[in-house]
Structure formats: C-alpha cells, structure tokens
Amino acid sequence: MRSVIAGAGAIGAYLGARMARAGQDVTLFARGPHLRAMRERGVRVTGPEGDFEAKPAVADSLDAIGPTDVVLLCVKAHSLPDLAPRLRPLLGPETVVVSMQNGVPWWFFQGLGGEFDGLRLERVDPGGVITASIEPRRVVGSIAYLSSEVVEPGVVRHIEGNRISLGEPDGTRSDRCRKIAHALSAAGLRCPVTTRIRHEIWVKILGNVAFNPISALTGATLAQMARHPDLGRLIREIMAEAEAVARKLGMELPISIEQRMAGAEKVGEHKTSMLQDVEAGRPLELEAVVGAVVELGELTSQPSPR
C-alpha cells in the first residue's frame, strides 16, 4: 500500500516516521525549513516510547508524487480549503482520503440521510471548495488520539497517545479500512475500526469545543481547567450545549459530561492543541471546532450562548 501524508507537521511527520521505520511506502508532503531538514537528515522522534530516526520519502510538490493508494490528511482544518483543490494529482480511481482534522469534518453530513443529509457547513467548508475537490466515495473518517509537536525542523517530540480510530461514514467494516488499520498497527499504533465514527467524532468535539478555546484564553492545562470551580462549571455548560446540538442531529452520545470531565483530568497537565498553537503564534482551528457547533446550533434552533 502506497501512502502520502499531506501535511507533514507534528502529527504527519510522526506518523510518517513510524510508517517508514516499519518499512512502508510512505511519502511526506511538506514545505519550508521542516521539509529541508527531513530531506537532509530524515525525521527524528523523541518521546516516552523511546527515540528513533527514520528517512521517509519527502516531497514539496504533489504533482511529483502522482497517484497513490491512501492520502492521510494531516493539515489543520483551516488549511484544508487551500490544500484540497491541489490534491488532484494524488487521486487515482481507487484512492482513499483519510480525514484527520479536529472538529466537525466537511463530510459529516454526506450520506447521513434524513433532514440534514448533504448539509455543508460554511464555517468548515467555505464556498464548498473541499466538497468539490474530494468525492464522498473516497472518504474514510478518523480521529487521532495523540499529541506531538515539532520542536525544531525535522525533530518531532511525541508527547502522549498512540491511537487512531478509523471508520466508514456509512458504518460498514470495509476492506479498505482494515488495510489502512493494518498498516498503522504495523507501524506501532493502536488503530481500531469503528462502525460509529460520527458518534466518536462528536464525543471528541464535546471536550474540544470547551477545553480548547478556554485553554487558549487562560493558558490553563486540562487538569487545571477540570479542577477549577468556575472554569469547570463553564466547561460543563458548554458541553451541555454541544450535547443538545448532537441530540438535535439524532445522536445520543455514549459518554456523559462527567465521564468526559474525569477523562480530561486524568490526562493531567497537558496543553491542548489550541493552546500550543496560541503559544507558537499559529492560526487556530476555531471554526471547525467551535464555529461549526455554533452554526449547527443556529440551524437546529438550539441556543448555544456559552
């Protein structure tokens, strides 16, 4: 199986290094100093599971890579409208596109059925650029439960986590999902295949929609937010609003707000990805994580003042 990682930043470079170390055919698409460092020296990974180095193929042009079997979309959600139209050189007749963005993905309502079937969120896919560029039949959903950061060009620090859930939007257990899961598992990751990918996405949103922006505003870690009386109350109120929106979409979540709070506190003194972006001066994934839930609240007449 030939894979391309489109967006070889902290998560993408980490995945690419693990896949290359396992002997898999993987190419990283990157730019700038990070690209040059990976070309010259490969990727060096440090972290709690041990340090290692790998030399995956690296490219700065999608045209030069050509058609592939799997595209792992590892860019942040706000970068996808710019990247999606440029993916065409990678897409052969059977190419699978694995979305790995935080928040509500652009494909969430494609093939959903019912009242909201085919709904496009303007805050996630402005002007429908992503939808026009990636056919629904190509999409496999995923959720990454891991954290890493680029500490210098070509060097990635793995902070915690090694799980990536995969799932077909139609809820089936497909051969293509199993093949991708096998490749990621062979690279040392936990990769379960779920038949309820949309529910699992919303469970993660339940935490992200509250913890991420509050951490960006306060600088607090997960444990600090969960233990703080006032912040804890606000987080629960935001989660309740997101849970109510999910119910309007016909989803009953398999986890309670208190379980979500306990899980966040258990993670400990961890900085959310949004706080890391604030500290690094990078754009934030506000629209896909927060704006999308607000937009859905407006569409379903579900108030979300918090």
Catalytic positions are 204
Structure-token match 């038949």, residue found: 195
Distances in Å between the Cα of 53 and the Cα atoms of 19, 47, 160, 211, 225 are 11, 12, 18, 33, 35
Distances in Å between the Cα of 149 and the Cα atoms of 36, 58, 91, 205 are 17, 19, 29, 21
| E strand segments, the chain | 2-6, 25-29, 43-46, 52-54, 57-59, 68-73, 91-99, 139-152, 155-167
- The β-bridge relationship of strands 68-73 and 91-99 is parallel
Who's near 136: CB < 8 A, 6+ residues apart? Answer: 107, 110, 111, 169
For 188, phi and psi rounded to 5 degrees? 100, 15
Q: Cα–Cα distance between 302 and 294 in angstroms, integer?
A: 9
Q: Cα–Cα distance between 278 and 275 in angstroms, integer?
A: 5
Q: Which amino acid is at 126?
A: P
Distance linking the first and last C-alpha atoms of the chain: 45
Q: Quick check: helix, strand or coil at residue 52?
A: strand
Planar angle of CA 20, 27, 208, nearest 5 degrees: 85
Residue 290 DSSP code: I
